[in-house]
Structure 1
Amino acid sequence: MTAQNSATAGTAIAVDTGRPSAQRRGPGGGVVLAGLGVLAFSLTFPSTVWGLESFGPWSLVALRSVLAALIAGCALLAGRVPVPERRHWAGLAVVAGGVVVGFPLLTSLALRTSTSSHAAVVVGLLPLTTALLSALRTGSRPPRAFWAAALAGAAVVIAFTVQQSGGELSGGDLYLFGALLVCAAGYTEGGRLAGVMPGWQVIGWALVLTLPLAVAGALLALPFEPVRLTAHGIVGLVWVAAGSTFLGLYVWYRGMA
C-alpha cells in the first residue's frame, strides 16, 4: 500500500498498488464526510420539487447538469488539475451516467406524482443497493451486522412503499427503483475512483464529461417544456446544481475513499 496525497486537504488516501502496506486512516473522518454528504442530499428532493415549479423534468436535469459542470470546470481549471488517465474514463462515465444524469432524471420524473417525503423513504434502499453492487464490483465484504441492519431497513422501506401505494407499485415508484440502481452504480464506481484521485475531481470530471450532452439536452428540452420562473424554482435549480450535484458528491466521494 502507498499513500497518495489528496489535493483538497493534504491528507493521505491509501491506494492498493501491490507494494508493502501502509497504515490506513481510521474510518471516523469518512463517517463525518459521508454525514455532510447526506445533509446536502437531504435537500435534494424538496429543491427538485421547487425546481419543477419553473421547469419541466428534462429541462431541470439538463440545466442543473450544465450549471454543476461549469462550477466543476472552473474548480478544475483553478486547481490546474491534469486530465485523468485514459483507464479512468470508463469509470467516470459510469459516475456521470448514474449520479449526474440517471438519478436526477428518474427522481425528477418520479416527483411529478410522488411526494418528496415518499421518495426519500423509498431511496432509503440506496445503502443496501450500493453495498450489493460494491461487493460485486470490488469484492468488499461488509460484516454480518451491516447486512442485518441493511436488510432490516430495506424490509421496512419495501413494506412502507407497498402500504402507501395500496398494494401496488405506482409509476413514480418504478422511476425511484430505477434511480436506486443507477445511483448505486455511480456511487460504487465513484468510491472506487476516489481511492486513486481526490473525490472532488471524480465528480468534477464526471460533470465535465456530461457538459456537451447537458447543453444539447437543454437546447432540446426548453422549447418543448413550459418555463415559469419563480423564486422557488430558481433557488431549487441552484441548490440541486451547486449543493446536491457538486458539493454533496464532493464530500460523499471523499468519505467513501
Structure 2
Amino acid sequence: MNRITTTPASSPQTSSSIETEACLLGVLSVAAFALTLPCAKALSGHLSAIQIGLFRSVLAALVAAPVLLFIGSARPNFSQFKRLLLMSLGVVYGFPVLTAVGMQHVPVGHGGVVLAALPLATAIFGTLITRDSPPAFFWLASVGGFVAVALFAGLRSEQGGGFYLGDLALLGAVVLAGFGYAQGGALSKEMEGWEVMCWALVLNLPILAMLSLWQFDASQFETFGPIQWGALAFLAFVNSLLGFFSWNRALALGGIQRISQLQLLQPFFTYGYSILLMGEHFDPLALVACVTVIALVVVSKRALIKRTH
C-alpha cells in the first residue's frame, strides 16, 4: 500500500507558530546530538568503532519496528523506499561508525571543530536535493558561523590544533550525515518525521542484525559500568531514534537550509555538558562565541525569509 503523502506545512498553524515550533524542535534535537561525541568517547575503550556504530543502530531499529506496528504506519512507496535507503547510508551507517572511529583518535574538543562543518554540508545537500537555492547572503552568514565555531573549538583544544587521522573519519561523517539529514528533511514533507527515521532503521534491520551478531563479543560488556551502559543507551534510543523524530519534523517545517544552521550551536551544548557533567571551568570566550553564532544564525534565517516574501 502506498503512503498517502501529507505536508506538515499545510496545517492551519500560522507561519509564526510554525517557525517557532521548527526552531524549538531543532534546538531540542541539537541539544541531544551534542552528546554524540562524548558518548562515543566513553565507549571507545570498550567497543570498537564498528561495534559502537552497529550496536546503537540495531538497538534503535529493534525499538522502531514495534513502534511502526503499533501505530499501523503505511509502507513507504517505491520512491520513498529508495530515498530511505539513501538516507540510511548517512544516518544509520556512516555517521554512527565514522564518529566512533574519530573518537578513537582525536579529543572531543578537536572533533567539534570538524563537526562544525555539518550545517554547511546539510545546507548544500538540501539545496541539491530540493533544488531550492538560498541567496548569497545566506551562504556568507553560514560560512561566518562555521568560522566562529571552528575558531572557538580550535582555541579550546588542549592539543593546540593540528591534523589527525581521525579527522578523515569525522570529515566523512560530516559529508554522509549532511546527505542523510537533507534526505530525511525532504522525506519529512511527505511522511511524518518519526516515520522517516523508523522506516530507515527497520528497512536495514536484517543487515544490522547480521553484522551485529558477527561483531558481538559478550566478554567486552563485562567491563561496562553505568557510564558505558548509559552512553550506549543514549546513542541508541535518543541520538539514533528519538532525536530524529524532532529533527526531521523541524527540517520539514522550517526548511532544510534554515534549520540546519541551528547545528552551529552544537559545540556550545557540548561545552555546556562538559561544565555540568565533567566539572570543567567556564570560559568567557564561549559566551562571546555563542552570541556571535546565534547572531549569524538569525542573519542566515532572515536572509531566507526575505527571499520568500
**TM-score calculated relative to the size of structure 1:** 0.85
Separation in 2, partners of 1:110, 1:207: 23
Contact 2:115/2:170 (8 A) holds in 1: yes
Distance change >3 Å, CA 251–CA 186, structure 1 → 2:
same
Aligned to 1:67: 59
Does residue 218 (structure 1) correspond to residue 224 (structure 2)? The answer is no
Tell me how far 1:122 sits from its aligned partner. 1.8
Q: Which deviates the most, 200-209 or 25-34?
A: 25-34
DSSP-derived class of the 1:114 partner? coil
Percentage identity across aligned positions?
Answer: 32
Change (3 A) 1:46 1:91: same
2:189 aligned with 1:189, yes or no?
no
Query: Which residue does 1:9 correspond to in 2?
Result: none
Greater relative contact order (CA < 8 Å, ≥ 6 in sequence): 1
1:244 aligns to what? 239
1:53–1:233 CA contact under 8 A, matched in 2: no
Aligned to 1:54: 46
Residue among 7, 10, 13 paired with 2:9: 13
Shift of 1:101: 0.9
Alignment of 1:72-83 (within 5 A): 72-83=64-75
Tell me, in whole angstroms, the C-alpha distance in 2 between the residues paired with 1:154 and 1:225: 42
Instruction: Indicate the residue corresponding to 1:198 in structure 2.
Output: 192
1:234 pairs with 2:229: yes
Cα distance change, pair 29–204 in 1 and its aligned pair in 2 (3 A): same
Which residues of 2 match residues 87-166 of structure 1 at below 5 A?
87-156=79-148
Structure-1 residue corresponding to 2:173: 179
Give the drift of 1:83: 0.9
Which of the two has greater helix per residue?
A: 2
Comparing 35-44 with 182-191, greater Cα deviation is found at: 35-44
> How many residue pairs align between the two structures?
244
- Structure 2 stretches of 5 or more lacking a match? 253-309
Amino acid at match of 2:61: A
Q: Equivalents in 1 of 2:118, 2:98: separation in Å?
A: 14
Q: Residue 117 of structure 2 aligns to a residue in which SS?
A: helix
Does the aligned pair in 2 maintain the 1:58–1:217 contact within 8 Å? no
1:4-50 alpha-carbon deviations (Å, 9 max, x no partner): 658xxxxx4349xxxxxx98674221111111110111111111222
Between 1:100-109 and 1:53-62, the stretch displaced more is: 53-62
Alignment of 1:254 onto 2:254? no
Runs of 5+ consecutive residues of structure 1 not aligned to the other structure? 7-11, 16-21
